[in-house]
Amino acid sequence: MISIPLLKQTIKSNFGLWIVSTLTVSLLYTIIKIAVGSIVVSGSTDPNALVPYIQALAAAGLKLENLFVTIGINPDILSGLATMDSNVLISMIFYPVVGVLLPLVYTVIVGNKLFANQIDRGSLAFVLSTPIKRSKIAITQMSYFVLSIALMFIFITGVDVILTITIDNSLELGKILLLNLGLSLFTLAMASITFMFSAIFNYSKHSLALSGGFALVFFISKILGLFGSDLFMNMGIGIEPMGFFNNITMISLINTSSILDGTNDYIIQFAILVFISIICFTTGSIWFTKKDIPV
Amino acid sequence: MSIIKIENLTKDYGLSRGIFDINLEVEKGEILGYIGTNGSGKTTTIRNIMGFIKPDSGRVKILDQEVNYTTEYLMKHIGYVPGEISFPDIGDGNAFLKNQAEMIGLNDMDYANYLIGKLELDTTANLKHMSKGMKQKTAIVSAFMGKPDILILDEPSTGLDPLMRENFVDILIEAKNRGATIFMSSHVFEEVEKTCDRVALLLNGRIIDTVNMKDIHHNEVKTYVIGFEGNEDFQKFIKEPINLISKKEKYYQITVEIMDKEINNFMKTLNNYNLKYIKEEKYTLEKYFIRKINEVKTND
């Protein structure tokens, strides 16, 4: 099924980037969790302290909502602010934005190195001129990609679990695991896309342009989409039409709201990520066995 | 028995680039030289032989098997030196050769070590920092170490210094002596002359001629350059009924072509003249090649 010497070669040439990505993401997790762990949640003050203010407003025949309208703030954000939880904020921004970035870079660079870069430079000649089948080469490279991402997230999730137990236990462990699973499935799907472009094109510039292009669009759209998200809308800093961007980024398939709310919507979206991975990995592998490789 | 058989091979890249209707056979134990100018299609032919790319029409057969993307099992018989050498990113020369040996299922590194010694290759150097020559040597070791039956070499001596080129020629001859069949492209006429049995000349993607090296080595027409002491002799000589190729009046020098059977008559004629020098100009593959190209060009 796979070629061990080729696998060793691929591990050797990508190990540096793997270790840097894995450790950096772990470090980011640690910093953020320590920061969150030290937050004194503002909502924990005694709500009874508000009672005299509300009574005073009522006595004067005024409503709190009207006060906001007078100042020019949408009164809807009152309910938003009342239910706001800093953990939600962190989970919805940290995992799908900060957590995504480095694995995204990893997939784009490694994906390109698996085929296109080696064809472009010509080094694949030394593999193709051995009795290893093209399909075996493709499966070996895919196995490396899938396993390296799995190991990366096993490590990162391990760090996250330890941090959750020791420093910041504001989120349930189950949700932590699901958020990380979502992140890893997204990374896998992204890897399959870069794998496919790398297998299709014989030039690095083409493979990188498409893989990097998708990665960039997904990432920027996620950030822009945040402004249209319920979270930002509730905080009163949302811009509703920006929600459009959430529809064009694959990162939306890590449905953080569903995971945090405990609904089951995320399951189908995880399945879509797995489906994308299967399609792209298969397409890339088949393509690689059926094309001219000028080395 | 022909080991490599190329039949009507065409790979058209448009704008008259590519290779067109190539027909060649390489017999067992033969070294075939594949000579052509830059961009004439040598590498395209070789990529077709290796099955890395598919022809638009025609075919390549190795050991009677038609080569295509899925004939990787043939690779256990083949050693390959690519035209442009770039290594995977896996450390030093040793690591690369060891990994390559694993890929071809080679356990015995004795011959590899012999080749490393013969080419004076420092395998502890990092692949990234290797000079062109070192890369070339590493690729040669990788192709030859498994003692393959067939060697496909794309300009294998590029970047080697003249001394190493000699050693490489030795390695080629060793391979030939143990019965290997070799297809070698080159633009170094000298090494082709020293090693090849036959040479195919490629121009603009077409084979314009295939020559037996014996015919070049044992050419019955010899070329001589003769310098005279003075203008008088020079002027008198050019009126002789002799096949004059060129003359340089300034140096009182002429170039003539003489058939071997007429050499005695020619010497007698020369007896009547005061010579400054006479030298034979060796008939080389390079001259043959240039003459052929000019022939083709004038025919166009």
**Interval B178-218: pLDDT, tens:** 999 999 999 888 889 889 999 999 999 999 999 998 888 78
Q: Residue B49 carries which DSSP code?
A: H
Q: Do A134 and B82 touch (CB under 8 A)?
A: no
Lowest mean pLDDT among A130-144, B58-72, B260-274: B260-274
Write down the pTM of the prediction. 0.87
Task: State pLDDT tens for residues B61-96.
Answer: 999 999 999 888 999 999 999 999 999 999 999 999
ipTM above 0.95, yes or no: no
Q: What residues in chain B have their Cβ under 8 A from chain A's Cβ atoms?
A: 47, 50, 52-54, 69-70, 72-73, 75-76, 78-80, 82, 84-91, 95-96, 99-100, 102-105, 139, 142-143
Which residues from chain B sit within 8 angstroms of residue A128, using beta carbons? 50, 52, 72, 75
Best A130, A139, A289 member to test B by mutation, with max B CBs in 10 Å, is A130
Query: What's the whole-number mean pLDDT along residues A16-24?
Result: 96
Mutate one of B63, B69, B78 to test the A interface: name it (highest A CB count within 10 A): B69
**Helix, strand, coil percent content, chain B, rounded in steps of 5:** 40, 30, 30
Percentage with pLDDT > 70 across chain A: 92
Cβ–Cβ gap A130/B99 under 8 Å: no
Average pLDDT of span A33-50: 66
What secondary structure does DSSP assign to chain A, as a single string? ---HHHHHHHHHHHHHHHHHHHHHHHHHHHHHHHHHHT---GGGS-GGGGHHHHHHHHHTT--HHHHHHHHT--THHHHHHHH--HHHHHHHHIIIIIHHHHHHHHHHHHHHHHTHHHHHHSTTHHHHTTT--HHHHHHHHHHHHHHHHHHHHHHHHHHHHHHHHHT--SS-HHHHHHHHHHHHHHHHHHHHHHHHHHHH-SSHHHHHHHHHHHHHHHHHHHHHHHTTSHHHHHTT---GGGGGGGGT-GGGGS-HHHHHHT-SHHHHHHHHHHHHHHHHHHHHHHHHHTS----
Helix (H, G, I), strand (E, B) or coil at B191: helix
* Reported confidence tier of residue A81, pLDDT bands at 50, 70, 90: low
pLDDT of residue A269: 95
Given an 8 Å threshold on Cβ–Cβ distance, is A131 in contact with B84? no
Per-residue confidence (pLDDT) for residue B216, from 0 to 100: 82
Please state the φ and ψ torsions of residue B119, each to the nearest 5 degrees.
Answer: -95, 5
Query: What's the Cα-to-Cα distance from B75 to each of A131, A132, A281, B208, rounded to whole Å?
Result: 5, 8, 26, 30
CA distance A184 to A178: 10
Question: pLDDT at position A64, please?
Answer: 72
| Cα separation, B99 vs B119, whole angstroms | 20
The pLDDT confidence band at residue A85, using thresholds 50, 70 and 90, is low
CB contact under 8 A, B88 and A4: no
Lowest-confidence segment of A107-116, A229-238, B36-45, B134-143 by average pLDDT: A229-238
- C-alpha–C-alpha distance, residues B154 and B187, integer Å: 10
Is the CB of B103 less than 8 angstroms away from the CB of A133?
no
The H or E element containing residue B156 is: none
A7 touching chain B per CB within 8 A: no
Is the pLDDT at A68 greater than 80, yes or no?
Answer: no
The string of DSSP codes covering B224-255 is EEEEESSHHHHHHHTTSSS-EEEEEGGGTEEE
Q: What is the pLDDT of residue A53?
A: 79
Residue owning tokens 């249209």: A228
Indicate yes or no: CB of B103 within 8 angstroms of CB of A134.
no
Q: Which residue of B has its CA nearest to A13?
A: B89
Element spanning B261, H or E:
none
For A179-203, what is each residue's pLDDT tens digit?
999 999 999 999 999 999 999 999 9
Instruction: Render pLDDT for A239-286 as a digit per residue (tens, 0 to 9).
Output: 888 888 888 899 999 988 888 888 888 999 999 999 999 999 999 999
CA-to-CA distance for B98 and B107, rounded, in angstroms?
A: 9
Three-class SS state of B106 = coil
pLDDT at B11 over 60: yes
**Chain A residues close to B102, C-beta within 8 Å:** 4-5, 8
Mean pLDDT of chain A: 88
**Amino acid B8: pLDDT:** 96
- pLDDT score of A233 more than 90: no
pLDDT of residue A97: 83
Q: Is the dihedral of CA A137, B133, B164, B116 positive or negative?
A: negative
Cα(A245)–Cα(A236) distance, integer angstroms: 19
Contact B100 A130 (CB under 8 A): yes
Q: Is the pLDDT of residue B111 over 90?
A: yes
Round the average pLDDT of chain B to a whole number and report it: 92
Work out the average pLDDT over A66-80.
71
Query: Percent of chain A having pLDDT more than 90?
Result: 59
